[in-house]
Amino acid sequence: MMNFEKRPVLISGPCSAESRDQVMSTARALQSTANYFRAGLWKPRTRPNEFEGVGEKGLPWLKDVQESYGLPVMTEVANAEHVDLVLKNGIDAVWIGARTTVSPFAVQSIADALKGTNLPVFVKNPIHADLKLWIGAVERIDSATKGDVIALHRGFSSYGLKKFRNAPMWEIPIGLRSEMPDIKMFCDPSHISGKRDLIQSIAQKAMDLGMDGLMIESHINPQVALSDAKQQLSPKDLISLISSLKIRDLTLDKAQTLDLRDLRIELDSIDERLVELLSGRMNIARAIGKYKKENGLTVLQLSRWKEIMSSRKVWSEEMGIEQDFLRSVLEQVHKESIRIQTEILNSGLGEGS
């Protein structure tokens, strides 16, 4: 069984095992900081012709980490064959990736291969924000293994949002813990952020949310990593990050305080996405302003404004939002769009006079 007494439990290591030397060098640098060593052997890449891992060849390297540095080791499994190989080679734990979690068929085949074992399994959220699918994957694995089953939050694909590689959507892991209050929850700031400079803030947010541990990618030389180079930390930077985290006491006087904190985190998550969506809307307003300037159109198109207000009125009724409130919000949004487009139409006027 895994030891969860001290927060955060830290899982770290390279995105991919690339060579024995790279694996051993990284593990040596992490041995006094990480609780578990991770390295991907089979890499489900988004597009072909990218580095897809060394596969079975890397299993002895993980065994060497166990024996040389006393670190428990783990890797990702995507099918029953992977499970059989890690069991035969004495790997200490595994995780199921986001691309695998989306398929109940794939998860069930892994669960069948785990039947009756004591192997701890981390279940990443599916790539899209489907809470029931995530819960279902956890339940399938939990019904098979006698080992710990841990939910692993790595964010969700969200088209058009640029700040994060995967949108955190903190309300989804909160929802999972509400449905499964006894589940241990870890966070993967590396895959949420996609950038080194955002990892610390994501890790701190996970700790503030009361998550039990972190999975953070670390590479002995991140700049030359064969996969996910931009989101991997050097061991030195990882150690500095962990020491910077503020770990607050989870014991509160009243259960209501905990509930209120969770609700506030949900609000923060929604507000964060709202700001990103507003930014995207203003970018579209700029493109429209350029089109109007090129085609000699006025900024204010009254018929379009009436169309907006009419359609949004229907939306407010469907969503249970007061019409006056929605109108005041949309008026401010429209006012900012008009300001942006007016600036574009007037840009260049008076130059050269």
**Could you report the per-residue pLDDT of 135-168, keeping only the tens digit for each?**
999 999 999 999 999 999 999 987 765 789 999 9
Which residue, 237, 50, 285, 274, is CA-closest to 163? 274
On whether the CB atoms of residues 169 and 205 are closer than 8 A, the answer is no
CA 243/CA 183 separation, integer angstroms: 26
pLDDT score for 353: 35
* Domain residue limits at 110: 9-244
Rounded to an integer, the average pLDDT of 247-258 is 61
pLDDT score for 349: 64
169 and 120, same domain (yes or no):
yes
Per-residue confidence at 289, pLDDT binned at 50, 70, 90?
confident
On whether the CB atoms of residues 76 and 96 are closer than 8 A, the answer is yes
For the chain, percent of residues with pLDDT exceeding 70: 94
Tell me the pTM: 0.74
- The yes-or-no verdict on residue 351 having pLDDT over 60 is no
36 and 123, same domain (yes or no):
yes
> Is residue 4 one of the residues assigned to a domain?
no
Residues in a beta bridge with 213: 9, 186
CA 24/CA 58 separation, integer angstroms: 11
Rounded to an integer, the average pLDDT of 256-282 is 80
- The yes-or-no verdict on residue 316 having pLDDT over 90 is no
232 and 267, same domain (yes or no):
no
103 and 41, same domain (yes or no):
yes
> Is residue 353 one of the residues assigned to a domain?
no
182 and 313, same domain (yes or no):
no
CA 147/CA 150 separation, integer angstroms: 10
3-state SS, residue 250: coil
> Is residue 339 one of the residues assigned to a domain?
yes
127 and 198, same domain (yes or no):
yes
Rounded to an integer, the average pLDDT of 12-32 is 97
Rounded to an integer, the average pLDDT of 16-26 is 97
Rounded to an integer, the average pLDDT of 260-287 is 84
Per-residue confidence at 331, pLDDT binned at 50, 70, 90?
confident
234 and 126, same domain (yes or no):
yes
190 and 320, same domain (yes or no):
no
State the sign of the Cα–Cα–Cα–Cα dihedral 75, 225, 197, 72: positive
Tell me what the pLDDT averaged over the chain comes to: 89
pLDDT score for 250: 64
Per-residue confidence at 87, pLDDT binned at 50, 70, 90?
very high
pLDDT score for 115: 96
Task: Identify the CATH number of the domain in which residue 269 sits.
Answer: 1.20.59.10
Per-residue confidence at 258, pLDDT binned at 50, 70, 90?
low
> Is residue 93 one of the residues assigned to a domain?
yes
pLDDT score for 352: 46
Most confident segment among 107-116, 290-299, 316-325, 327-336? 107-116
288 and 144, same domain (yes or no):
no
203 and 115, same domain (yes or no):
yes
Task: Identify the CATH number of the domain in which residue 77 sits.
Answer: 3.20.20.70
94-131 per-position pLDDT tens digit = 999 999 999 999 999 999 999 999 999 999 999 999 99
pLDDT score for 317: 80
From the number of C-beta atoms within 10 Å of its C-beta (0-12, 13-18, 19+), residue 70 rates as exposed
The more confident residue out of 300 and 181 is 181
Give residues with Cβ within 8 angstroms of 315, minimum separation 6: 321, 326
Question: Range with the lowest mean pLDDT among 190-204, 219-233, 255-269?
Answer: 255-269
65-78 per-position pLDDT tens digit = 999 999 999 999 99
Q: Domains in the chain: how many in total?
A: 2
On whether the CB atoms of residues 250 and 210 are closer than 8 A, the answer is yes
316 and 236, same domain (yes or no):
no
- The yes-or-no verdict on residue 254 having pLDDT over 50 is no
47 and 161, same domain (yes or no):
yes
Tokens in use for 166? 């995967």
pLDDT score for 308: 76
